[in-house]
Amino acid sequence: MVYSEPHKTNTADKMAADPKYKFGNLHLKNAKEVSDYTTKVLGDAENLITNIIPDKIFSLQKLDKDEFQQYSDISSVTSDVNIPSGGYESYMRKEPFTNHINNSNSNHTKKRKLDDTDSNGDAPPQIPCNAKLLRLIDVMKPEIKDVIEACESIKMWISLLIPRIEDGNNFGVSIQEEVLNEVHRIQTESMNYLDAISRYFITRAKIISKVAKYPYVDDYNRAVREVDEKEYLNIQFSINEIRSHYMLILDVVSKNYEKIKKPRSSNNIESMY
């Protein structure tokens, strides 16, 4: 008689067979850790909505009052470029030198670079950024980062609450998708604020390079001040917009909270991921 060897089970097999180590309908490696991480993501998003975002609204209001409203006169936010008399052409001009080898009277020229120094050690003075706007931008960028990360957390929170795809009873799911689209729109707009900051520095640098070359053209000098004032308004508008974004997130989530949490009836709770 032939006896078959009994099947040996190890700890991993038992864990895989145990439903509590499943993630959804899958037996995943490290399923418990993945499940624990999912629970943490959901908890963090709930805390973000109920505690952190309300605080952010009032902290941004205070930030606007302390940092931005001090410039009641918008012209006070501009700064002089301080281009030297005659511009930078004196540092770029061609300087003659004598060719002593050929002992000729012909003059040869060479063009200097802005980073060169002459025999006296003189170098073209550095043209600084607008220090006032630079401070405001440094204050604003962390707030942009926070709202982008908040939107990402809320998107993940809603996505994890979306139930399994099936026919019928999808009204709650459509509400979840609408809220997701709104949060994604807010995130995209917030990311555009960073692009606007980059464009400001590039635009200002191009205009200042014109001022350095043509210091006698008043329009270029005025253009620098106009760009500074415009950027100040853009930054202040962005701070207020971020505060409005937080308000919109709270509004749309609070009005649809029950459907976000339970998009389908209690009979279908087991169908959720």
Own/partner pairs for 204-211, CB < 8 Å, 24+ apart?
204/129, 204/130, 204/228, 204/231, 208/81, 208/127, 211/81, 211/83, 211/87
The pLDDT, as a whole number, for residue 106 is 45
Domain ranges of the chain: 11-87+129-271
CA distances, 188 to each of 191, 236, 242, 243 (Å) = 5, 18, 12, 15
Q: pLDDT per residue over 27-49, tens digit each?
A: 778 888 888 899 999 999 999 99
Q: What is the mean pLDDT of the chain?
A: 80
pLDDT score of 230 more than 90 = yes
The region of weakest confidence among 23-37, 156-170, 256-270 is 256-270
Q: Answer yes or no: is pLDDT of 7 > 60.
A: no
Provide mean pLDDT across the span 245-249: 96
Residues 6+ apart with CB under 8 A from 254: none
DSSP string, 205-255: HHHHHHHHH-TT-HHHHHHHHHHHHHHHHHHHHHHHHHHHHHHHHHHHHHH
Burial class (CB in 10 A: 0-12, 13-18, 19+), 204: buried
**CB count in 10 Å sphere of residue 148:** 17
pTM here is 0.75
**pLDDT attached to residue 31:** 82
pLDDT confidence tier of residue 92, bands split at 50, 70 and 90 = low
For 171-227, the pLDDT digits (tens) are: 888 999 999 999 999 999 999 999 999 999 999 999 998 988 888 888 998 999 999
Largest CA distance in the chain: 118
In this structure, which amino acid lies at residue 121? G
pLDDT at 216: 84
Q: How far, CA to CA in Å, does 270 sit from each of 161, 163, 170, 176, 264?
A: 12, 9, 15, 18, 10
d(CA 241, CA 201): 21
In the predicted structure, residue 154 carries a pLDDT above the cut 60? yes
Using pLDDT thresholds of 50, 70 and 90, give the confidence band for residue 98. very low
Domain 11-87+129-271 falls under CATH 3.90.1150.110: no
According to DSSP H, which parts of the chain are helical?
A: 11-17, 31-47, 53-63, 89-92, 131-161, 171-213, 218-255, 257-261
Q: What is the mean pLDDT of residues 63-87?
A: 80
Distance CA 78, CA 183 (A): 35
Spatial CA neighbour of 245 closest among 161, 174, 144: 144
Q: How many CA atoms lie within 13 A of 123 on its CB side?
A: 7
Q: Give the mean model confidence (pLDDT) for residues 125-153.
A: 92
Interior angle at CA 103, CA 97 and CA 108, nearest 5: 30
Q: What is the pLDDT of residue 225?
A: 93
Q: What pLDDT shows up at residue 80?
A: 76
Q: What is the mean pLDDT of residues 3-21?
A: 47
Instruction: Say if strands 94-98 and 107-111 run parallel, antiparallel, or are unpaired.
Output: antiparallel
Residue of 114 and 264 predicted with greater confidence: 264
